[in-house]
Amino acid sequence: MDTTLDDPLVGRSLDDRYRIDARIAVGGMATVYRALDTRLDRVLALKVMHPDLAADAAFVDRFIREAKSVARLAHPNVVAVFDQGTDGPYVFLAMEYVPGCTLRDVLRERGALQPRAALDILEPVLAALGAAHRAGFVHRDMKPENVLIGDDGRVKVADFGLVRAVGSATNTTGAVLGTVSYLAPEQIENGTTDPRVDVYACGVVLYEMLTGGKPHSGDTPAQVLYRHLNEDVPPPSAAVPGLPAALDEAVASATARSADLRPYDAVALLQLVREARAALTDAQLDAVPPQARAGERSASEDRTSVVPRPVGGQESVNHTARFEHPPVADPDPAPAPRRRPRPRGPLFAALGALLVVLLGTGVWYVSSGQFTRVPNLLGKTQADAQQRLAAAGLDVEGVRREFSDSYERGTVMATDPAGGARIRGNGSVVLTVSRGPKVVTVPTVKGMPLAEARKALVKAGLAPGVVTQEFSHDVARGAAISTDPGAGEQRSPDTAVAIVVSKGAPVPVPTVVGEPLDRARTTLEALGLVVQIAPEQTNSPQPAGAVANQSVAAGTQAGTGDTIVLTVSKGPRMVPVPNVVGQDQDDAKRTLEAAGFKVKVDRPLISFSHEVAEQSVKGGENAPEGSTITIRIKAL
């Protein structure tokens, strides 16, 4: 049955322009429709906020923020936003229509993907997020449902409805917005959101594409949250044996529980993923995975949720996490039956009947005829004003924002009705909140820790923008070096201000590959670098216990306090040596090199033969990968 027939918006036009033809999807905050722009005669997607949420200024602000944020990106892998508007109770976005399917549909149908397919999808996703990160925005809800795959093969990132500026304040309710299976530990623990939460989510999505299942599962969402906080994402090869180590390393780097150990944004992760792809052979890229875990998920894990943040430490997540999924409301729901008290006589029967009537109309006693006075709210913060109105039994009908040289930014400069006016006890008040002066001065933030610099910009009426890093000999690591626009310059309120943050004094990174672990650690720590040991050891030509590789290449510059991850060698792999006796010298050399060995040729002083007579390690015996095999040429 076509459920769109029951939708009151299907067949209607919004803003006398957008004719709604069919419902595409329903979410907790909005419904998406296929519509026709009758002015430009083009098909598009119309995202309409649920009317009950449209009365909430915070949700409307988020809607409008999505329109402005995505419109600024203008990236080929981001679903474009064309227009934003309202029509009566409906607030909507007009967006690019992408015929095709979502990545969730692909995973549900196919399960695990071949590495090449997974990377072909992930790379444009990271390109889109990288553009957002460099523009100063974080998506915050990356998951397969928000990755669209068009019929023409194009990959696009959708649903920037949770997008926010990097460094902007978290919501005051203590809730976390997102989807439990893809939340980074810092989102769960304290609501921190910077580009690295998108990096974490993309690491989980890559794991899911490679294995067909999520890395952390549980019987309840709270169990999933607890595992994100307390358990590392396992390597994909643990679920799909044979997956290359380069893919394990990419997932481990992106999903490190400590945000400081992840790539700093999607651009950095994209570079890491491309390096991983370059390290794989065609056979590895096209390996067909098993499909045993296809479709493994629960509905509660895949939906964007409002998650109360744990208060008592990590373990409290298991007991306090709850999830609220706003349902798709029935247009005319039947009222719940009301239980009448049993009468205990004529007087009680009369009182009971009176209470039923009064409570049924939402009124206590006869307050519908009472009046109250609007409290004086001038100079109060918006939050304080709303609390005072609520205490007086009044609602906030809306919030306007205007410039003012007299009232501080964020304080109430007028109310309608005015303070002291008589109003019905259930009436509404419109607040006018100051945006501050029309021109503000960029404050000096040099030497301030990044968090304090951002607060100083917000207090001045500006928006913290993109954060970049530079080496500095005189500014401490993590502190602000400068801003763009610079200190003292004047700008309009809410102008984004980019911040340059110190990486500390530059430190040339030495090579420690091949050194014993303790010596390598001492060398790096003496330079002011932080050493971390990778949890997994690897086979390499280096002796067992020595450093196999380092996360920052030798010869590059790092900042004081930067972390370098060292991977310890398990020693070389032992591989069988091919038998090349009797082969031509050149053929024998190629055979041994293809097996991973170096070759030394021992030729008699006088010999006209090219036939191999002996080899230093007999065919069929094992030798360390990368070791040298000597072949002796037959003497004549």
Active site residue 105: no
Report the distance separating Cα 131 and Cα 265, nearest Å.
10
In the structure encoding, which two tokens stand for residue 319, read together? 């007991």
The Cβ of residue 611 has, within 10 Å, a number of other Cβ atoms equal to 14
Q: Are 385 and 353 in contact (CB under 8 A)?
A: no
* Per-residue tokens: 107: 């995973």
Q: Is the distance from CB of 46 to CB of 92 less than 8 angstroms? A: yes
Q: Which two structure tokens, joined as six digits, stand for 303?
A: 């939906």
Q: Which of 7, 141, 159, 198 is catalytic?
A: 141
Helix and strand element counts for the chain (H, E): 18, 33
31 C-beta neighbours (distance < 10 Å), count = 19
Residue in this structure with the two tokens 């809306």, named with its chain if needed = 398
SS3 595: coil
Q: Which residues, 6+ apart, have CB-to-CB distance to 61 below 8 Å?
A: none
Q: Are 301 and 178 in contact (CB under 8 A)?
A: no
Q: How far apart are the first and last CA of the chain?
A: 88
Distance CA 575, CA 453 (A): 57
Residue 99 CA to residue 96 CA, distance in Å, equals 10
Give exposure, 574-610, as e/b (b: 16+ Cβ within 10 Å): eeebbebeebebeebbebbeeebbebeeeeeeeeeee
Q: Say if residues 413 and 445 touch (Cβ distance below 8 Å).
A: no
Find the angle CA(597)-CA(602)-CA(608) to the nearest 5 degrees: 125
Cis peptide bond prior to 221, omega within 30° of 0: no
Of 123, 134, 21, which Cα lies nearest the Cα of 74? Answer: 134
Q: In whole angstroms, what is the distance from residue 614 CA to residue 198 CA?
A: 58
Whose structure tokens read 């490679």? 210
CA dist 272 and 143 (Å) reads: 20
Residue 319 DSSP symbol = H
Sign of CA pseudo-dihedral 153, 159, 162, 164: positive
Contact 73, 55 (CB under 8 A): no
The dihedral through the CA atoms of 416, 418, 419, 422 has a sign that is negative
**Type and span of the H or E element at 599:** strand 598-602
DSSP letter at 516 equals: B
DSSP code at position 240: S
498: number of Cβ within 10 Å: 14
Q: Largest alpha-carbon pair distance within the chain?
A: 130
**Alpha-carbon torsion (194, 200, 205, 210), positive or negative:** positive
Residues with active-site annotation: 141
